[in-house]
Amino acid sequence: MALFGLYRFKALGITSTKIPQNTHLWVESAAGNLYLVDSIDNTKIYKSLDKGAIQTQLDIDPGNAWGGDNKSRPKNIVALWYDRTNSKIYFLDSDKDGTDSHIFTMDLSDDTVIETLTIATSHAYDVFYDGASVWFSRKFDPAPNTNINF
C-alpha cells in the first residue's frame, strides 16, 4: 500500500489569508481552534474557530501596556509552546538583538494573556515546557537554556 493511501485527508476548501512564515508559529488546540501568528506582522496573533476560514485578532497586550493598537506585542513573536495538558500556550517575543525579550502565557479557556517574564538583554529564540518548568533558550550566554518556574 502506498504511503498516501494510509491517510484520509479532506480538502476543506479554505484558503487562509493568515499563513504563518513558519509552521512552528501556529497551533491547533484540543478544542480544534487555530492560533496563528500573522505572517506579515509577527506581533499579532489570530484565532480561528473554523480551521482558518475566518480569523479574529486576539488582544495580546492587556491594558495597552505596550501602546500601539492595544492588541499587539512590542516585538516579533519568534516561538511558542503548546501545553496541551494545562490548555496554555507559552509565547516568546524577541527581536533577537540583545534587547529585552518577553515570555507571555495565553490561557486557552478564555484567551487571556498573562505577562510572565521579561528576559533582560537577551538573544532569546525559543521557549518550551517540560511538564514541570518553562524553559527558554538564548544565544551568546554561558548557560543557554534557562529554567524558570511559574
Confidence of residue 141 (pLDDT cuts 50, 70, 90): low
Q: 23-148: what fold? A: Neuraminidase (2.120.10)
Alpha-carbon distance 57 to 137, whole Å?
A: 28
User: Which residues neighbour 19 within 8 Å (Cβ) at sequence distance 6 or greater?
Assistant: 39
Alpha-carbon distance 47 to 137, whole Å?
A: 26
Alpha-carbon distance 83 to 90, whole Å?
A: 8
The answer to whether the pTM exceeds 0.85 is: no
**Residue 143 pLDDT exceeds 90:** no
**Residue 137 pLDDT exceeds 60:** yes
pLDDT tens per residue across span 110-132: 999 988 888 776 677 788 788 77
Cα dihedral 79, 83, 87, 88, rounded to 10, equals -30
Percent of the chain with pLDDT over 70: 73
Domain assignments of the chain as residue spans, ordered by start: 23-148
